[in-house]
Each structure stands twice: as C-alpha cells, then as structure tokens.
Chains A and B, each alone.
Chain A
C-alpha cells in the first residue's frame, strides 16, 4: 500500500474515532493530496521551517475560517433556501437557529459563532415565564453541546441586563458544559455591577464566561458590529475571517543579529511573506472556490466585503527573551522592566505594519492583527503575547503587563488569569479583579480557577473528566483530543495559580 493508503486505512480502523470524526479526517487527508497554492520560494521555505504558519487550514481553502451570519436578519425574514418563514415564537426562533447553525461553515466544519443569543431572542419572550424560559434555553444548550461537539462553537451575551442573559448564566453554572464557549460583553456605561457580579459568580462555578470589553471592540467595528467567536476572535458581524495565518516571533527573533536587525529587517521581511500567503489563500477562496455564491450571501446574512484576514502572532515572550540576551540584558519577559517595555514596542511595530498594508480581500482592505493563542503542538512558544506559564508575576502586575498590548490587537488578544480556588469563597474578589482589568484597558480575558472540572486551554475549554475518558475510550468531543495534546505539550497546567494560603485549605491524606 502507498503511504496515503496506509494513513486512510488507519483512520478507517481507528477504534477511538466516531464515524463523523473519521469522515472529517478523510476529508482533510484528501485536501492534502492537492498541490499547495503556488508560492514564492522564500515563502515556501518560511512555511516549511514554520516561521510563517498557515494553521493547517488546508491546501485548497474552499470556505472561510470563521463566519458570523446576521442571525437577527435571518429570524426576521426567514429563509427561502431553507424554506423557513420568519420566526414568531421562542420555539420557532430556537428551532430555526438550530437549523441554520448546520449550514454555517468554519475551519472546523462547525459554526464558531452562534450569535448574540440574548439580543436575538429578546423579541420572542414577552409571554414566556421565567421558568419556561429557563427550561427551553436549557434544552437548547444541551442540544448545542451534543450536536455541535466542538468547544470553538461560541455564543455571546451582554452588555445589557435581561432575563435571557441571567438565565444563561444560571444554566452554565448548572450544566458546566464545554459547548458553547461563552463571552459576556462588559460595558461600563451599560452593564450594572449587579450583572457583572452574576457573571463572576458563574465564573466561580464553571470558569465561564470569557469577558470582553464592549466599548473597546465596538470602536473597531463601528459600521458592522462584531461578535466574539471561536477562542476569542473579534470579527465583523455579517462577515468574519477569510483566513488566519500566523508568524512565529521566536523564530523571527532567532534570525536576527540585533534588536535593530529585528525591527528594521527581519520583521518587515517576514511580514511581507505573511501578506503573500494571505493573498494566495484569499485569492483561492474569493476568486476560485465559489463559496460566496452561497445562500448566506444571496439572503444577506453575510457580505463578502466584511471578511478580513487575521494576521496572527505568537511566541512574543521567547522573542523578547532572545532579543534581551542579544542585548545582554538580565531577566525575562514578565519579570524585568526592560523586557516588559520591549514587548509592547514589538506589538506596536506589528500593528503599524498591519494597519498600513493593503490586502485585496479584507474589510476596508486591511488585515486584522491577532494575538494567536497557539495550537496544541506549540511546545517551544507561548501563545500570542502571553507570559510563559509558570513565570507569571503577581496577578495585578500580570494584568498590567498584558494590558500594555491590548490596544494593538483588534481581532483579539486574551490572557488566562489563573486563580487559586480560595477565591470561590469570595467571588467579590474576582469581581474586583475583573473590574480593574477592564478599567485599565484589557480588551478581553478569561479567569481560570484551579481545580474546576472545566479547564480553559488556549481559548476553548475541556473537561478534566473527558481527558481521562478520551485515553480509554475516545470522546464525542472533537476538541477533547486537542486539549489533551495541549496538556501534554504546552504545559497549560503549569499556569501558576495565585492567592495560595495553606491554612485556608485542607487536603486529607488517607
């Protein structure tokens, strides 16, 4: 048998994959049989050495990476293609949404954006009691988790207070599911302290939701509105991301002989290659794949000109440390002033390049800079601009260092703030931390409290209990395997929890 036949046979006979997971593996393998898009020699070399990375999106990009349909319009007008009338009741709205989700593609095949659930459903709940609402939404949530088994599937709530947002927070605390990923949009002008407290109380029970700073994002997407999707990507509503490519800053720094060389030559050189890859991939998607003939476009749910390429970076910590050693500086990123000051200078330089460079297919002809959270196989680089796991300083310094980057990354940047479980007894401390982080300009972040069953990986979540199960019998979750790989290779469990006090904990030794 040929090599590829061997591979296909091992997929077909894998005892731990479900039949759907096998079909997807087959499809990916088929795509890999096509020749790669035609690229310059310089870019091919950079891709092979993985300085520039295409996120394994495939050889023939026939669908956008992330799609954010205008679900409100869909519910209002119905769909000819799907033969659905406008929704009139909550039951209809939930059913129709459940149908449309199955027609929204993404890099994972499953929809990475479920909509601003509370805003979408508010018009349909006037005659629905609190108890009915809770029950219906709970069933809907269970259905999402079981039929879209991928923790990149993402719903948004907030910033307004309403019965739906409250019900969803309570359902999250009750069900503790990995799906959907959930973001709460915080807006100091709109969100009451009481609602933010409900959010942090839920956080203390299940490490969800993720929190985003609404006014900061809104300013970036004034004409289109936005949603938070997949891990924590902020993108235009009615559009999305046509592709995501990322630059390994560690490797760029290692190619440099000095700080000057890094900023003046290497960074611009590799940025050019990033743009070349973006052009090649988006050209295929927009000009050859036929994707934009979809009913999603003809019915006005998405617009081709609202798709932007995401320009990701990762391994900033290693880049900063390497440049520090070239400049003979003691200390490391997270723990030295010199390093902490250099890091945002790099973010700013990247931002200047990306905001000044034309792309053919991008909203307003620009790509969007993104602090990429890493993939499960990155063992030598820290996600995005984060401080390496285990080297984080005290949590307030951590937040301040992280925040120094947030203005530069419109399509998303996030930090995981790891806390010890003693905060569970004092949710007000989490509330105060979140408020402070938002106040000093963090665009978004996640709080991860140690010892809960739901664990945040890069931006998505896995269940500890699933990890054990996966090794023994496979998992119905498509993301559990990524989580396991991340645990093994990237050391996410080394994140340093803060607030440890021994007398305040007991652990019985048998």
Chain B
C-alpha cells in the first residue's frame, strides 16, 4: 500500500501561541465544521480542481496540468489571495502535498529552534491516517522523538479514533465554540454532542493540554455561564490550562462580520467566571496598541 500523504495549507516554523515554548505548526487543509466566525475560511474545503480560480490569478501562478489537477507555482505567486476570494468551495489552490518523510524532514530541519510541534488546521484530525503514520515516524526517529506533540482540535473526532491518536500525542488543545447545542449549531452548522464526549475522554485520559473559549459577545453562550458549563469547569483540575480568545473581525466573511468584536471588559468578565470556578491557569489575549509611534 502507498504510504499516506497530506494536504497542507501551510507550515509555521515559529509560533508562541500554539502550546508551550516555540512550536512548529502544521496547518492541515480541510475542516468538518463550518464556523461563521472562521478567520481562515479558505482552510475549510479541499480543492476539487474545478479550475475556476485559474483565470483570476494576476500572476499566472495557477494552471491545470495534463491530469486535470490544479497546480500552484509558489515562486510566481504574490500572495494576493484573489484565488481564495473567488473559490466557492472554501478551498485554496495554494496547498502542498507532503509525504510522511517530507514532513519529517521539515521538522528535523528546525529541531534546534522548537520545543515541539502542533498539528492544527483546518482540522488536523480529518487527515487521521496520515497523522497516525507521521506521529509514529516522528516518535521512532531519534532526532525528533523528544519533541512534544500537540493537536489542535474542534473535538469532532470519535472515541475509537481518539484511542488510536492519544497514545501518540502529549495533549490536545480543544476548542469550545459554544456550550448549548443549538448555539453550537447556529455558529458551526453542527451539534456538539461529540465535542462534549471528546472533552470527557480527554480529561479522563489526562490529555487535555488546553481548553479554548472563543468569546463572541452576544453570540457565544459563555457569559453568563449556563449551570452545566459551570459544573464542568468546577470539575476540572485547577491547573488545567485555559485560554480565552477574543473574537476579532480580521479575515472573517459573511454574517459574522457584523458580530461585535470582544473588548477587554468582555474578556475580564469571563476571566472572573473562570477564576471563581477555581481555575488558576487562565490566559487572555495580549493587549496591543494600534498606534506604534507618534510619527507622521
């Protein structure tokens, strides 16, 4: 059998926000939720080679080869993102295909600089066979075996699949998009029974590396917190890493562009809720100044 390959949207060699220390982050293409607030909607779909974006590319960086596959020439591309905006499948022609050993080479080239790797997306677990093969290779290669390995997930993966994946990773960072299922459906298009089951499973197997709440004022149902959310929070160990992310408009398209961005007040109120539930390790967004210097 051929060894599996992956469709990857991009690889970041330095990230301070995807787990402890510096992470090499692999963004897999494709997601099984359709969140209205997605900041990179072009990572949701997979290119079906329809070719519609080709004539729109101002740099002639896109073409169709003899086999009917859309090809992207990274050297010609100016990263104008026109192709992303014309694609009606929430896909991108600018993805790369990696074999297990190619991706392993990328990691190995960067080992002096990284504390570990984080598999993200899109939704990394939609390419499970590749991930399992890649992590097994990573763990058996002496140069990379010591790296910590985290997965960033929306929690839609099923129980048996988690059982295969969890022994290979140090932890999972789980996104909570909304608490009640109706609310979850309104934001993501799907109910969240599986997400809650995954949360449970991750807690029990001690693989919950971070729990993330994306706060969208008046849209997400975290503030004030529903009773069963509070109950869950109180049941967590006090050291559980929690991150509050604040909704911002950057990259968002459609209805969500009219939702209010999260302000510092919204964040501190929810932070208070988490603190009073006994949680000690809560990270919040860093405050940035928009003005950089008093210069003309």
Q: How far is the CA of A421 from the CA of B285 in the complex (A)?
A: 11
Q: How far is the CA of A421 from the CA of B267 in the complex (A)?
A: 18
Contact of A431 among B21, B75, B110 (CB under 8 A): B21
* Contact assessment for B113 and A330 in the assembled complex, using a CB-CB cutoff below 8 Å: no
Q: Can you name the residue of chain B whose Cβ is closest to the Cβ of A419?
A: B16
28 pairs, CB–CB < 8 Å, chain A vs chain B? A396-B14, A421-B288, A425-B16, A426-B16, A428-B20, A428-B115, A432-B22, A432-B114, A433-B22, A436-B110, A451-B292, A467-B293, A468-B294, A487-B293, A499-B16, A501-B17, A502-B251, A503-B39, A503-B246, A504-B17, A504-B245, A505-B246, A505-B248, A505-B285, A506-B246, A506-B248, A506-B261, A506-B263
| Number of A-B contacts defined by CB within 8 Å | 121
With A428-B21, A468-B294, A506-B263 as contacts: A394 and B286 at CB distance below 8 Å: no
Contacts of A330 in B (CB 8 A): 75
Q: How far is the CA of A507 from the CA of B245 in the complex (A)?
A: 13
B228 on the interface (CB 8 Å rule)? no
Contact of B21 among A397, A429, A498 (CB under 8 A): A429
Contacts of B112 in A (CB 8 A): 435-436, 439-440
* Contact assessment for B15 and A499 in the assembled complex, using a CB-CB cutoff below 8 Å: yes
Contacts of B283 in A (CB 8 A): 425
Contacts of B114 in A (CB 8 A): 432, 436
Q: How far is the CA of A218 from the CA of B247 in the complex (A)?
A: 50
* Contact assessment for A432 and B113 in the assembled complex, using a CB-CB cutoff below 8 Å: yes
Contacts of B251 in A (CB 8 A): 502
Contacts of B263 in A (CB 8 A): 506, 508
List residues of B (263-282) whose CB comes within 8 Å of A's CBs: 263-264, 267
Contacts of A433 in B (CB 8 A): 14, 22, 113
Task: Bits for A416-453, please: 1 = Cβ < 8 Å to B, else 0.
Answer: 00011111111011111101110110000000001100
- Determine which residue in A331, A440, A493, A499 has the highest number of CB atoms from chain B within 10 A of its CB, and name it: A499
Q: How far is the CA of A421 from the CA of B250 in the complex (A)?
A: 18
A195 on the interface (CB 8 Å rule)? no
Q: How far is the CA of A435 from the CA of B21 in the complex (A)?
A: 12
A43 on the interface (CB 8 Å rule)? no
* Contact assessment for B287 and A507 in the assembled complex, using a CB-CB cutoff below 8 Å: yes
Contacts of B15 in A (CB 8 A): 429, 499, 501
Task: Output the least CB separation between B41 and chain A (Å).
Answer: 14
With A425-B283, A493-B293 as contacts: A506 and B288 at CB distance below 8 Å: yes
Task: Output the least CB separation between A46 and chain B (Å).
Answer: 34
* Contact assessment for A429 and B214 in the assembled complex, using a CB-CB cutoff below 8 Å: no
A395 on the interface (CB 8 Å rule)? yes
Q: How far is the CA of A505 from the CA of B39 in the complex (A)?
A: 14
New A-B contacts (20) at CB < 8 Å, excluding given A422-B17, A422-B286, A431-B21: A394-B13, A422-B16, A424-B286, A432-B113, A433-B22, A435-B113, A437-B113, A440-B112, A487-B293, A487-B295, A493-B295, A501-B15, A504-B245, A504-B286, A505-B287, A506-B261, A506-B264, A506-B288, A507-B289, A507-B290
Contacts of A394 in B (CB 8 A): 12-14
Task: Output the least CB separation between B284 and chain A (Å).
Answer: 8
Q: Can you name the residue of chain B whose Cβ is closest to the Cβ of A505?
A: B288
B157 on the interface (CB 8 Å rule)? no
* Contact assessment for A504 and B285 in the assembled complex, using a CB-CB cutoff below 8 Å: yes
Q: How far is the CA of A1 from the CA of B283 in the complex (A)?
A: 66
* Contact assessment for B115 and A429 in the assembled complex, using a CB-CB cutoff below 8 Å: yes
Q: How far is the CA of A420 from the CA of B16 in the complex (A)?
A: 9
Task: Bits for B3-19, please: 1 = Cβ < 8 Å to A, else 0.
Answer: 00000000011111100
Task: Output the least CB separation between B39 and chain A (Å).
Answer: 7
With A503-B245, A508-B263 as contacts: A425 and B286 at CB distance below 8 Å: yes
Q: How far is the CA of A420 from the CA of B14 in the complex (A)?
A: 11
A399 on the interface (CB 8 Å rule)? yes
* Contact assessment for A502 and B115 in the assembled complex, using a CB-CB cutoff below 8 Å: no
Hey, which bits of chain B sit against chain A, CB under 8 A?
A: 12-17, 20-23, 39, 75, 110, 112-115, 214, 245-248, 250-251, 261-264, 267, 283, 285-290, 292-295
Contacts of A119 in B (CB 8 A): none
Contacts of A439 in B (CB 8 A): 112
A464 on the interface (CB 8 Å rule)? yes
Q: How far is the CA of A419 from the CA of B262 in the complex (A)?
A: 24
A488 on the interface (CB 8 Å rule)? yes
Contacts of B267 in A (CB 8 A): 506
Contact of A503 among B110, B285, B289 (CB under 8 A): B285
With A467-B293, A468-B294, A503-B246 as contacts: A428 and B286 at CB distance below 8 Å: no
| The 6 A-B residue pairs with the shortest CB-CB distance in the complex, in nearest-first order | A436-B113, A436-B112, A429-B16, A396-B13, A429-B22, A428-B21
Q: Can you name the residue of chain B whose Cβ is closest to the Cβ of A510?
A: B263
Contacts of B39 in A (CB 8 A): 502-503
Contacts of A396 in B (CB 8 A): 13-14, 110, 113
* Contact assessment for B295 and A503 in the assembled complex, using a CB-CB cutoff below 8 Å: no
Q: Can you name the residue of chain B whose Cβ is closest to the Cβ of A336?
A: B75
Contacts of B17 in A (CB 8 A): 422, 425-426, 499, 501, 504
Contacts of A395 in B (CB 8 A): 13-14
Q: Can you name the residue of chain B whose Cβ is closest to the Cβ of A330?
A: B75
* Contact assessment for A503 and B21 in the assembled complex, using a CB-CB cutoff below 8 Å: no
Contacts of A422 in B (CB 8 A): 16-17, 286
Q: Can you name the residue of chain A whose Cβ is closest to the Cβ of B24?
A: A396
Contacts of B14 in A (CB 8 A): 394-396, 429, 433, 498-499
Q: How far is the CA of A422 from the CA of B286 in the complex (A)?
A: 6
Task: Output the least CB separation between A407 and chain B (Å).
Answer: 17
* Contact assessment for B113 and A399 in the assembled complex, using a CB-CB cutoff below 8 Å: yes
* Contact assessment for A503 and B248 in the assembled complex, using a CB-CB cutoff below 8 Å: yes
Task: Output the least CB separation between A295 and chain B (Å).
Answer: 45
Task: Output the least CB separation between B252 and chain A (Å).
Answer: 10
Task: Output the least CB separation between B8 and chain A (Å).
Answer: 15
Q: How far is the CA of A501 from the CA of B250 in the complex (A)?
A: 10
Q: How far is the CA of A424 from the CA of B264 in the complex (A)?
A: 18
Contacts of A467 in B (CB 8 A): 293-295
Q: How far is the CA of A451 from the CA of B15 in the complex (A)?
A: 18
